[in-house]
Structure 1
Amino acid sequence: EHNTEQIYNEIAYPLVEGVTEGYNGTIFAYGQTGSGKSFTMQGIMDPSTQKGIIPRAFEHIFESVQCAENAKFLVRASYLEIYNEDIRDLLGADTKQKLE
C-alpha cells in the first residue's frame, strides 16, 4: 500500500520533471468505481501529506517556472473523466456535459 506522496515521487515526479523540460506528459488513472482513483489524483489539502498527484504536479510545475530565468512557458492542462464510454471535461464550465 502506498500513499499519494510515494506515488507522486516514484511515478509522477519523473514525468512532471520531463514536462518542465518541454515534453508532454499524461497521467492516466484506471480502475473500478470506488477504488481510489479520484482520491489519488485529487487528494485532500489538509493535511498536506494527503495532497493528490494533481496539486503536487501543479506545485512542481509552477515552482520550476518561477525559478527559470530567461524563459517563457505556456502551461496547459486537461482533466477528463471517461465513465461508461462517456467523456467529460472536468475543468470545463459544465462538468456534466458529455463531450463528442
Structure 2
Amino acid sequence: VYNLTARPIIDSVLEGYNGTIFAYGQTGTGKTFTMEGVRAVPELRGIIPNSFAHIFGHIAKAEGDTRFLVRVSYLEIYNEEVRDLLGKDQTQRLE
C-alpha cells in the first residue's frame, strides 16, 4: 500500500513540495490500521511509520551542510469535530 499510494507523495516532499495523505471512509473500514499499521511487525507498518522511515532515511544520507525542516500534522475529523492526534490532549476539540 505504501509504495503504491504514499511513496510518490513522500518522494515529492523530499524534492521540496508539500504533501498530504488523507484517509477517508466509514467507521471500521481500516483507516487507522492503514495509517499506523502494526509497530512490532515491520512488514505490517502503516503509511505513517513508513513515511517517517523514508524521510529520515533520506535525511541521514544527505551530504554537506544541508538543513531540513520536517513538520507533520495528524488530525482526525469525526462528527464534524477536528482533533489533533499528536497533541497532548487528543480529546480537545480544535476550532
Give the match's secondary structure for 1:55. Answer: helix
Structure 1 residue corresponding to 2:85, chosen from 86, 90, 97: 90
| Cross-structure match for 2:33 | 39
Give the match's secondary structure for 1:12. Answer: helix
**Structure 2: segments with no counterpart, 5+ residues:** none
Letter of the 1:19 counterpart: V
Q: 1:8-87, aligned counterparts within 5 Å?
A: 8-70=2-64, 71-87=66-82
How far the C-alpha of 1:11 sits from its partner, in A, is: 1.0
Greater relative contact order, per chain length (Cα 8 Å cut-off, separation 6+): 1
How far does the alpha carbon of each residue in 1:19-54 deviate from its partner, in whole angstroms, 9 at most, with x for none? 111111000000000000000000111221110000
**Structure 1: segments with no counterpart, 5+ residues:** 1-6
TM-score (norm 1): 0.91
How large is the RMSD of aligned CA atoms in angstroms?
0.6
Letter of the 2:9 counterpart: L
Aligned residues: 94
How far does the alpha carbon of each residue in 1:34-78 deviate from its partner, in whole angstroms, 9 at most, with x for none? 000000000111221110000000000000011111210000000
- Aligned partners of 2:71 and 2:5: how far apart in 1? 20
Give the match's secondary structure for 2:76. Answer: strand
TM-score (norm 2): 0.96
Letter of the 1:28 counterpart: F
- Aligned partners of 2:6 and 2:19: how far apart in 1? 9
Letter of the 1:43 counterpart: G
